[in-house]
Amino acid sequence: MQAIRYFESDTDVQLGDHVLYRSALLWWRWKPGRISYIPGVSEVHPEMEHDGLQWVGVSGTDGTFRGILVEPGASYIQRSVKFQTRSDGSRFLTPSEIPEGEW
């Protein structure tokens, strides 16, 4: 499997990366979060990989979770996520810890 990269970047997406992302409802605001799910790296979750599509999971610092589509055939995520820094080893939510109503 080809590495997934940030939009228009040579930087690979890695678990725990600190990012800024746009929420689905407040699309004009950037929120801080962490990468918590990567297809092909994380344990397969049916909400994040189905019908030939894949999503990278972002856990917001406010406890929310968002799936960001990996562009099919291109191996990069949408421009609604911006890389900030690599993980400092601190804790972040994983998809198995997110309540069903938050998907």
Q: How far apart are CA 73 and CA 64, in angstroms?
A: 28
pTM: 0.81
Give residue-wise pLDDT tens across range 38-93.
Answer: 998 988 888 899 998 999 999 988 888 899 999 988 899 999 999 999 877 666 66
Is residue 13 within 8 Å of 4, Cβ to Cβ? yes
Query: Is residue 103 scored above 60 in pLDDT?
Result: no
pLDDT of 26? 74
